[in-house]
Chain A
């Protein structure tokens, strides 16, 4: 069920470092097959990487359970929080995540900046992935030996070579402050309310098929769907005419579409600025697409 960003880097790295990437199965309703995943975590497993929330189906994964299974086998747990951190309260300590990544552009912040959280002892152990200014304590030239001796800075600076994206960091910080002032509980409650409301009303349309589970206890904020006889791009361009922006295509998650046996899908998603009235309007527009 992963976004390509949680597949492609591992496949590239696997070729360079010669390790194997294993994939867990997904049930027909888009939920994770926990038994399959847990059966694939062995003492040979180094890392389990899992999205907290699917960017296609909105399914919320029980990463705490998976982290426990990973740790029992001595593996590390990386959580892709790009779709969870902007939409719900996330406590890395409670999840026991070793790493958690999220992106600024999905949470009212700018593009080009994101966050990678890691447990401190891992940051201390890890080598920097790039070198440059600011990430060192000292670069001492030993003239006699004609070489420089480098001692690394403390984390997180050890990983922040060169001039950082200062504007991006300030803007993302403001976005986080803004969301925290609203309260992530409130954000989640609002989205769940809208998701419930939208599912209930869209299900009334005879030519619209919702993909994946519609149980809002298992998902939040995202509704993937198709309209009979129309490609997802037709639906998106039609909605565009009414000022309704939805996503069409694979949503950077082609394998999950293979599970759903779809060539593409349309995806409606909600955030703090959306309203019930907008969903009413969306339903009316979808109703019109049924006549196409």
Chain B
């Protein structure tokens, strides 16, 4: 059963008062991760083919072609985990149902 950890190399609480969260996708899974995100989230705008501003439910976030994403206004790890699960993993009507494991 796939999990968020299959896609995510690490999650960094970005330094600064903004409390941004930077998600770094695994190098060998980043294409798949970005493809899944593009399938599920709505592209608001794309800049220079590098930065992609996306919306998903109530969240706005930026995905970078280099395989990173910045999420803002995330309350806690659980919320981020849930969001990543919905963005990265097959939905319950798809190939399999899931419950994402907690990440570091």
On A, residues with C-beta under 8 Å from B are: 231-234, 237-238, 240-241, 248-252, 257, 263-264, 288, 291-292
Contacts and interface: CB of A to CB of B under 8 A. Distances in A.
B68 A232 contact: no
B18 A264 contact: yes
Contact of A263 (B18, B22, B66): B18
Interface in B9-56: 14-18, 20, 22, 47-48, 50-51
B15 A237 contact: no
Interface size range on B against A: 10 to 19
B51 A234 contact: yes
A249 B31 CA distance: 27
A232 B70 CA distance: 11
A211 to B, nearest CB: 14
Contacts, number: 57
Contacts of B48: 288, 291
Interface of B: 14-18, 20, 22, 47-48, 50-51, 62, 64-66, 68, 70
B61 to A, nearest CB: 11
Nearest to B66: A241
B52 to A, nearest CB: 11
**Chain B CB within 10 Å, residue with most, of A233, A234, A249:** A233
A233 B20 contact: yes
Given A233-B14, A249-B14, A250-B15, A238 B20 contact: no
A61 to B, nearest CB: 24
Given A234-B51, A292-B47, A264 B22 contact: no
B64 A237 contact: yes
Nearest to A247: B15
B18 A231 contact: yes
B36 to A, nearest CB: 20
The 5 tightest CB contacts between A and B, nearest first, are: A249-B15, A264-B16, A263-B17, A249-B16, A241-B50
Given A264-B15, A288-B48, A292-B47, A231 B66 contact: no
Given A237-B66, A238-B64, A264-B14, 18 more contacts: A231-B16, A231-B18, A232-B16, A233-B16, A234-B51, A237-B62, A237-B70, A238-B50, A240-B66, A240-B68, A241-B66, A248-B15, A250-B15, A250-B16, A257-B16, A263-B16, A264-B18, A292-B51
A252 B15 CA distance: 8
Contacts of A237: 22, 51, 62, 64, 66, 68, 70
A286 to B, nearest CB: 13
Contact of B17 (A238, A240, A264, A291): A264
Nearest to A252: B15
A36 to B, nearest CB: 25
A291 B14 CA distance: 23
A214 B7 CA distance: 43
